[in-house]
């Protein structure tokens, strides 16, 4: 009887497996899991909406409110949760601070590196291309803590461009500095889902000739990718997955926190110059 039962079980299993049409087994390298224990533990190390840990950064323009088209000098003062200036910073990807400056309509993007002057003070020169609000995102590692991200808005004087809705660009190739950048993704571009792992793979070649190029490391890795949603609420900064990248193809593993339209800027370095490739993608629920 137990024997008979076991045979019935085996038969049932075969039938059950046959019925589960979607049960393709993948490599975790090909399709990193979007759930499970390892994913949960990895999440803690992801730079999706990293908090400011109670740290504040006050940005002041030294010559009054900055004007569009004119170089402004910004002073950034980092304070700990107790309000005291921070005097210990660790390098994050070769720099003590990364400052991302993005216009509210996401049309303009700059990735800058303020210089440290001691006592929690950084200084940087910025030229705002037009008037209106700009998001300033500063990333730093204070007091032996992990990456800390602070967001603030700053208004620039000058005419504001007409608001244009963000339209998903799909995976069309982008040409920047004579380099053609192609985006392929898993899942396919346009089929991203909120809260699930997405792999973005950028292949770079010479525009026109399609000749292979070999990238140089940029800020300690093969590439950086900054991702913002249309309301500039969801902020993600990912670094290239080194083990999945070669000189002419760079992969990022990321996660879009919520549904919506996102703009992403992938940055690479070739022959001393930084290449920035912007894309607009749609993320479903």
Partner 1 sequence: MQVSLAAARGPEVRLSTNKEYITILFGIWLIGGVFVDGFAHNHGVVETFFTPWHAILYSGFMASAIWMGWLLYRSKTQSGSTWREAVPVGYGLGLAGVFIFLLGGLGDMIWHTVFGIEQNVSALLSPTHLVLLIGALLILSSPFRAGWHHASLQKPTWSAFTPIFLSLVATTGAVSFFLMYAWAFRYNLPASSSVDWYAVQFGDGGLIAENNQLRGLSYILIDTVVYMFPVFLLMKRWQLPIGTMGLLFALITVMMNVLDGFQNYPSIFIALGAGLIGDILYRVLRVREGRVSGERILAAVVPIALWSFYYAWMAISDGIGWETELWAGSIVEAALLSMGLQLLAAQKTPAKG
SS3 assignment, position 187: coil
Tokens representing 204 are 């770079």
Q: How far apart are CA 211 and CA 32, in angstroms?
A: 31
Which of 58, 60, 115, 246 binds partner 1 (CB under 8 A)? It is 246
Which of 27, 159, 164, 209 binds partner 1 (CB under 8 A)? It is 27
Tokens 């808005």 label which residue? 153
Paired strand residues for 226:
237, 265
Calculate ∠ Cα 6-10-11, nearest 5°: 115
Contact set for partner 1, span 159-218 (CB under 8 A): 201
Cβ(162)–Cβ(130) below 8 Å: no
Which of 50, 152, 157, 244 binds partner 1 (CB under 8 A)? It is 244
Q: What is the H or E stretch that residue 12 is in?
A: helix 2-19
Q: Note whether 13 binds partner 1 by CB under 8 A.
A: yes
DSSP state of 35: S
**Residue 159, C-beta contacts closer than 8 angstroms, at least 6 positions apart:** 68, 130, 131
Minimum gap (Å) between residue 104 Cβ and partner 1: 32
Site map 117..156 versus partner 1, x via CB under 8 A: ---------------------------xxx----------
Q: Note whether 10 binds partner 1 by CB under 8 A.
A: yes
Q: Pick the stretch among 23-31, 52-60, 105-113, 129-137 that binds partner 1 (CB under 8 A).
A: 23-31
Q: What is the H or E stretch that residue 229 is in?
A: strand 224-229
Q: Note whether 242 binds partner 1 by CB under 8 A.
A: no
In the complex with partner 1, the residue whose CB is nearer, 10 or 167, is 10
Q: Note whether 36 binds partner 1 by CB under 8 A.
A: yes
Minimum gap (Å) between residue 144 Cβ and partner 1: 7
Q: Note whether 272 binds partner 1 by CB under 8 A.
A: no
Whether a cis peptide bond, with omega within 30° of 0, leads into 167 is: no
- The residues binding partner 1 (CB under 8 A) are 2-3, 6-7, 9-10, 13-14, 16-18, 20-21, 23-31, 33-39, 41-42, 44-45, 144-146, 201, 244, 246, 249, 251
């Amino acid at each position: 009887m137990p024997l008979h039962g076991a045979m019935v079980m085996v038969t049932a299993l075969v039938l059950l497996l046959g019925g589960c049409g979607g049960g393709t087994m993948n490599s975790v390298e090909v399709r990193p899991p979007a759930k499970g224990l390892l994913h949960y533990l990895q999440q803690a190390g992801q730079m999706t909406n990293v908090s400011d840990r109670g740290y504040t950064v006050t940005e002041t323009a030294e010559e009054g409110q900055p004007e569009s088209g004119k170089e402004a000098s910004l002073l950034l003062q980092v304070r700990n949760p107790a309000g005291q200036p921070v005097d210990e910073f660790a390098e994050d990807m070769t720099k003590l601070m990364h400052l991302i400056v993005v216009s509210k309509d996401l049309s303009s993007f700059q990735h800058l590196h303020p210089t440290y002057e001691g006592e929690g003070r950084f200084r940087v020169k910025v030229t705002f291309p037009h008037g209106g609000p700009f998001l300033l995102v500063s990333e730093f590692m204070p007091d032996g803590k992990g990456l800390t991200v602070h967001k603030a808005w700053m208004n620039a004087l000058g005419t504001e461009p007409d608001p244009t809705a963000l339209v998903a660009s799909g995976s069309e190739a982008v040409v920047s500095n004579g380099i053609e950048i192609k985006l392929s993704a898993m899942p396919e571009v346009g089929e991203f889902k909120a809260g699930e792992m997405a792999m973005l793979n950028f292949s770079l070649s010479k525009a026109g000739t399609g000749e292979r190029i070999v990238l140089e490391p940029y800020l300690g890795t093969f590439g950086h990718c900054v991702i913002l949603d249309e309301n500039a609420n969801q902020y993600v900064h990912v670094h290239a997955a080194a083990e999945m990248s070669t000189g002419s193809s760079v992969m990022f593993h990321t996660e879009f926190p919520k549904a919506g339209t996102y703009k992403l800027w992938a940055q690479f370095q070739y022959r001393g110059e930084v290449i920035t490739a912007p894309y607009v993608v749609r993320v479903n629920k």
